[in-house]
Structures are given as structure tokens and as C-alpha cells.
Amino acid sequence: MPIENATEQPFGSVGRQVNKILDQVHKGYYSFYPADTWTPSVNLYEVETGYRVCVDLAGVEKEKIDITVHGQRLFLKGHRQVPCHPDGDTDAHTKRIRVHLMEIDQGSFSREVELPDDAAPDSITAIYRNGLLWIELPRKEGVS
């Protein structure tokens, strides 16, 4: 599937890039003390029929993801637990764990995505598979 980079930015990328840089700087200095909320990474795609938003939510339970739309803004909220080993041998209640590095965000997350004017936010669909949340937003009818 060919991917083309958009020359115009309908999603307000400057603010997003600044926030990403600040998050990375903050994480570097305070990696053992997570912020109140973390911000998941997002890819935004435009296709013939509308837009696709892909959100990296590895390890988040589907039931812990909340998607709402107000005006032309998409809001994502939820919670991710501290990752545990699949064998369960890292249970904090039965064994002591010494953390040497903790870069995977945990706790509450929040993300806001500005939608293009021609997106139809009342007709969205979402699929959560393999740790990625895919949100489909068709174009409004009669808008070109």
C-alpha cells in the first residue's frame, strides 16, 4: 500500500510536535515518576472516503478506552496498568521487584485530536487490535 505524506497539515501538527518533544524531555528526567497522565502516540491518515486515526495503546484493555467527540475534536481517555510478566511471577504481592528502567507509560492517559472540517464525527467506527486502536471517520456528505 503506497503511503503519501501530506503537504498540508489539517491536524495542527506544530502543537502536537512540541508536546511530543516536551513529553520526551520530561520522561528522560522523571522516568521513575510518571506524570498524572500520559499521551499515546497517534498516526493520522487521509483516504478517499475520509480519515483514519491510529492510536498506540499496547497493553491497554479495550474496556478501559473511552472515545468521545465534541465539535471537531476527538478525545481519547483511559488507563493502562503496569505491565506484568505473562507467567505472573512478577506479582508485587508475592515477590519483590527491583526496577532498573521504566519507560513504558502506565496509569491514566489522555489524547485530543483536532479533526478536519470535512470529517463526520457522528459516524465514527473503531477497532482495537494488537494494541492499536483504529478510528475511522468518513467525510461529511456534500463537502469536498
Q: Distances in Å between the alpha carbon of 134 and those of 43, 55, 57, 140? A: 10, 7, 10, 19
Q: Is residue 72 part of a domain?
A: yes
Beta bridge partners of 112: 75
Instruction: Establish if 6 belongs to a structural domain.
Output: no
Q: What pLDDT is recorded for position 103?
A: 86
The residue ranges of the chain whose pLDDT is under 70 are 1-17, 19-35, 88-94, 143-144
pLDDT at 142: 74
User: Domain for residue 77, yes or no?
Assistant: yes
Evaluate whether residue 118 is within a structural domain.
yes
If we measure between CA atoms, which residue out of 120, 123, 5, 133 comes closest to residue 60?
A: 133
What integer pLDDT is reported at residue 96 of this predicted model? Answer: 77
pLDDT of residue 53: 97
Examine residue 143 and state whether it is found in any structural domain, yes or no: no
Residues 6 or more apart in contact with residue 135 via CB below 8 angstroms:
52, 53, 54, 55, 67, 74, 124, 125, 126
Q: What is the pLDDT of residue 27?
A: 56
Distance CA 18, CA 107 (A): 22
Q: What is the pLDDT of residues 32-52, one digit of tens each?
A: 455 578 999 999 999 999 999
Q: Is residue 48 part of a domain?
A: yes
Which CATH number characterizes residue 47's domain? 2.60.40.790
Position 61 scores a pLDDT of 95
Q: Give the pLDDT score at 143.
A: 63
How many domains, the chain? 1
pTM of the model: 0.72
pLDDT at 67: 96
Q: What integer pLDDT is reported at residue 76 of this predicted model?
A: 97
Domain that holds residue 107: 13-138
